[in-house]
Structure 1
Amino acid sequence: MDQAERLRTIIKMNRQDNSQKKIQNQDHPKPAKVIAVTSGKGGVGKSNVSINLAIQLTKLQHRVVIFDADFGLANIEVMFGAVPKYNFSDLIYGGKGIRDIITQGPMGIGFISGGSGIPGMGNLTKPQIEYLAGCLCELDEIADIIIIDTGAGISDSVVSFLTACAEILLVVTPEPTSVTDAYSLLKILNRTPGFGNENTSIRVVTNRVGSEHEGAVLYSKLNAVVKRFLDIRIGFLGYVPEDRNISRAVIQQTPISIQNPWAKSSKAFERLASVFAESTQNQPQQQGFVQIIAGLMNRKM
């Protein structure tokens, strides 16, 4: 039995054990919804979208945890102005529990720092896999939604996360390089074995646009090329306007949705969260984070 299969077996046993413990209260947690926020290139505001979407979803009474999967760059903790004591590598290699490595950000939003790089998850030992599975099962008790802030670009790590996730938000700006790189990312996904377009929702967020109309036109241009050349479907979640207040908020390490809730960008993030929450309310429950890890390990076999 390979490592990914062992992880799936351990997951099943852990869930059955949790279910038996909680059957009297009928309080067995559902798997958290997992969203991957990504982009074809860096510098398009991907982490800002992740953080402010998390804040607005929290205002809608969802429990949110952000996983910073841009290993080594630590954007989330810098933008939150927080210093994590532990990171994801401490969970795998340091014997820490999942609750130990979750740092509390503003409004009670938890985040997991990716740390400075994690050596081959496909090379984990059986005891490490068992410990990882047991810890990650706890995330279903902690969060309703897990936002994965992926690295930018088309690295193997990014593609692995996107292939494993059922919900993807693709951040695009009006810069020609952003659009072409976003298309390149979709092209690679389209060619990646194991990527199931029929089971994956990919929605575009147009960022730093001049107006709602400009955002819609930008999405339409990308969608037209995707329809013509790729066997893949994308949708449009919404837009975030250009807003100087965001730069000030980043410098002050306070998310715009908290620093200035009435800013036009904050209201845009509020709309994005509302549309997302409403659109996924009646969807079948997605796979939890622990299944995402199993998928990543399976790709490394």
Structure 2
Amino acid sequence: MQDQATQLRNIIKNANSTKSNRPLARVITVTSGKGGVGKSNVAINLAIQFRKMGQRVIILDADFGLANIEIMFGTVPKHNLCDLIYQGKNIKEVITWGPMGVGFISGGSGISGMYNLSRDYLVYIIVNLAELDAIADTIIVDTGAGISDAVLEFLVASGEIILVTTPEPTSITDSYSLLKALNHHPRFSREDTVIKTVSNRVSSEAEGEQLYHKLSAVSTRYLKLPLTYLGSIPQDQQLSNAVMQQSPVSIAFPNAKSVRSFESIAKKLMGGPGTEPEVQPRGMAAFFSHIIKSRKLESTTAEAVSGTKG
């Protein structure tokens, strides 16, 4: 059996030999300033809508300690990211396939544990994660809620962020606090990041737009940070019923009013034929190498998976 060092060298060699042909996945990070605003529901139902549009989709559940994605999918994964890191599983083995062929990876405590790993291990993991670029067209990262260091690291690494908020005053305040913390992060690049908002649980489209304008006004005035509006999701009893059934509303009740909104938002995200993307796909290797930049692994990572950045 090959020792670990030999396996690592072979993986890096294979990554380099195929780098020119490797596709890059679009990474979308879904977040919120507080819990309980429906962030995971947005992530899951957008994934379902992307699948209906022919996209290959994987959700990375990075909400440590909460298994929202697997609960709503009604399935328990056999493996999570910890098994990739500590048990030698490959990336395909830690993907659980849910409804309509949407894949998801349970992060568990695996991502936070990456900070304590050796350099060789990190290169091994990043090269494995780079293989997701060949498996999925779009990867949706469902972060934890709030302003933790882990959440901010994901947002800093992402070129495309969806911020979910509700009309509740605390949700608006917490969303602004999250934007403020992100804006002050030393590695945040506003030039390379697009922040899009979704107004959830609104009584009307007008209320959704009003919520966006309120948040956008303070963000632009005090942070000089522009936001774009994706749309709103209405209050919908059928969505609540779907959660109780442990099924995405886009599958359980495809004609629900909330589903029409998810369809509209997904189409807006995909753009029309010939539309230039707002953010060039970076791929998962670049995404995770950005997260562990504080360990100064850029040169090693770039050597191992060069060519994966857009």
Alignment TM-score > 0.5, same fold: yes
Contact 2:32–2:163 (8 Å) recurs in 1: yes
Partners of 2:209 and 2:200 in 1: CA distance: 11
Contact 2:31–2:145 (Cα < 8 Å) also in 1: yes
Pick from 242, 245, 263: which aligns with 2:238?
245
In structure 2, the residue matched to 1:288 is 283
Contact 1:41 1:182 in 2 (8 A): yes
The correspondence for 1:134, drawn from 124, 127, 130, is 127
Q: Could you tell me which of 158, 169, 180 is aligned with 1:165?
A: 158
Distance 1:187 1:69 in 2: 21
CA distance in 1, matches of 2:166, 2:112: 33
Q: Which residue of 1 is the match for residue 294 of structure 2?
A: 299
SS at match of 2:200: strand
Structure 1 counterpart of 2:149: 156
Equivalent residues in 2 for 1:43-62, closer than 5 Å: 43-62=36-55
The question of 1:194 aligning with 2:194 is answered no
**Preserved contact between residue 220 and residue 226 of structure 2 (Cα < 8 Å):** yes
Aligned to 1:214: 207
Work out whether residues 127 and 285 of structure 2, in 8 Å CA contact, stay in contact via their aligned partners in 1: no
> Residue 265 of structure 1 aligns with which residue?
258
Identical aligned residues as a percent: 54
Identify the residue that residue 85 of structure 1 maps to in structure 2.
78
Q: Which moved more, 1:154-163 or 1:86-95?
A: 86-95
Query: In the alignment, what sits opposite 1:18?
Result: 18
- Given that 2:114 and 2:122 are in contact with CA atoms closer than 8 Å, whether structure 1 keeps it comes out as no
Partners of 1:11 and 1:137 within 8 A in 2: no
CA contact (8 A) 1:64 1:145 kept: yes
Matches within 5 A, 1:50-129: 50-116=43-109, 118-129=111-122
Q: CA deviation at 1:29?
A: 3.3
Deviates more, 1:150-159 or 1:242-251: 242-251
Letter in 2 for 1:220: H
Contact 2:157 2:290 in 1 (8 A): yes
Q: TM-score, normalised by structure 2?
A: 0.88
Conserved 8 A contact 1:104-1:110: yes
Pair 1:13–1:161, CA change in 2 (3 A): farther
User: Is residue 81–residue 105 contact of structure 2 (8 Å, CA) maintained in 1?
Assistant: yes
**1:230-284 deviation per Cα after TM superposition (whole angstroms, max 9, x unaligned):** 1211110111011011111001001000011110001100001000000795226
The structural deviation recorded for 1:198 is 1.1
**Corresponding residue number in structure 1 for 2:228:** 235
Name whichever of 221-230 and 162-171 sits farther off.
221-230
User: Which has the larger displacement, 224-233 or 179-188?
Assistant: 224-233
Which range is displaced more, 225-234 or 146-155?
A: 225-234
Q: CA RMSD in A?
A: 2.0
Inter-partner Cα distance in structure 2 for 1:189 and 1:163: 7
Q: Which structure 2 segments of 5+ residues have no match? A: 1-8, 297-310
Deviation at 1:12, TM superposition (A): 8.1
Residues in 1 aligned to 2:88 and 2:12: alpha-carbon distance in whole angstroms: 22
1:137 deviation in Å? Answer: 2.0
SS of alignment partner, residue 254 of structure 1: coil
Do residues 29 (structure 1) and 18 (structure 2) align? no
Q: Given the superposition, is the C-alpha separation of residues 112 and 281 from structure 1 closer, same or farther in structure 2, using an over 3 Å criterion?
A: farther
Counterpart of 1:296, as a letter, is: I
Residue segments in structure 1 that go unaligned for 5+ positions in a row: 1-8, 21-27
Q: Structure 1 length as normaliser, TM-score? A: 0.90
Aligned residue-pair number: 286
Checking the alignment, whether the CA contact within 8 Å between 2:126 and 2:289 is kept in structure 1 is: no
Deviation at 1:138, TM superposition (A): 1.1
